Amino acid sequence: MVAQIPMAPGQFYAKRFAIYSALGEPRIKLDKWRLSIIGLVENELNLSFEELQRLPQVELTRDFHCVTQWSIKDVVWEGVRFREFASLAKVRPEAKWVMFHCADGYTTPVPLVDAIVEDSLIAIRMNGQPIPAEQGFPARPFIPHLYAWKSAKWLTRIEFIENYEDGYWEARGYHERGNVSNEERFKGRKRE
């Protein structure tokens, strides 16, 4: 049986993904791409795609929820649990937030407590295939209980930080956290 969060009020199931790229789709050269883990850590990391593939991989099936109210049911994600990166990097106790940085210049913050849940991944495969370029190849975070703008495409850097900072959409009024069940779409919404 597949564990699912309940469908949030106002969401509907779509038949296919709407593709967004707020800053344009970058061209990634896999032999040059690296995933850096920096910030409030004891052990900074700089992983190639091959090194990322050698880390313990998991597969999970979860719905994908866009803040614009559409969802895709039962997407199969494969990748490395986010907590594996936190463990390898030895995150310092003062870290409270994670800032995801992407190849196109996009950023988004996520509370560390949300990033390290059991089913949070740095995904490299989607529905049995490498993540398509328009979906963020070679890697993107996927945190099922947060809206998809927090699952940033074309991930290049994971930065552990102490204090909240706006990312691309947060600077334009999107919610700091983005929890699907609480409908945290925009700033000013009462947290539950």
Q: Please write the tens of the pLDDT for every residue from 40-88.
A: 999 999 999 999 999 999 999 999 988 988 888 999 999 999 999 999 9
DSSP label of 123? E
The confidence band for 13, taking pLDDT boundaries of 50, 70 and 90, is confident
Q: Is the separation of the CB atoms in 28 and 35 below 8 Å?
A: no
Q: What percent of the chain stands above pLDDT 90?
A: 74
Residue 73 lies in a domain: yes
Q: Which helix (H) or strand (E) holds 155?
A: strand 155-161
pTM confidence score: 0.89
Does residue 152 surpass a pLDDT of 50? yes
Residue 15 lies in a domain: no
Q: Is the separation of the CB atoms in 136 and 154 below 8 Å?
A: yes
Average pLDDT, the chain: 90
Within the chain, residue ranges assigned H as helices are: 49-54, 82-89, 112-115
Q: Is the separation of the CB atoms in 189 and 170 below 8 Å?
A: no
d(CA 83, CA 91): 10
**What's the domain count of the chain?**
1
CATH number of the CATH domain containing 130: 3.90.420.10
The confidence band for 122, taking pLDDT boundaries of 50, 70 and 90, is very high
Q: What is the pLDDT of residue 189?
A: 56
Phi, psi (deg, nearest 5) at residue 123 = -85, 140
Residue 17 lies in a domain: no
d(CA 7, CA 4): 8
177-185 mean pLDDT? 90
Residue 184 lies in a domain: no
Q: Which residue segment(s) compose the domain that 78 sits in?
A: 29-172
Residue 5 lies in a domain: no
Q: What is the pLDDT of residue 66?
A: 87
Residue 158 lies in a domain: yes
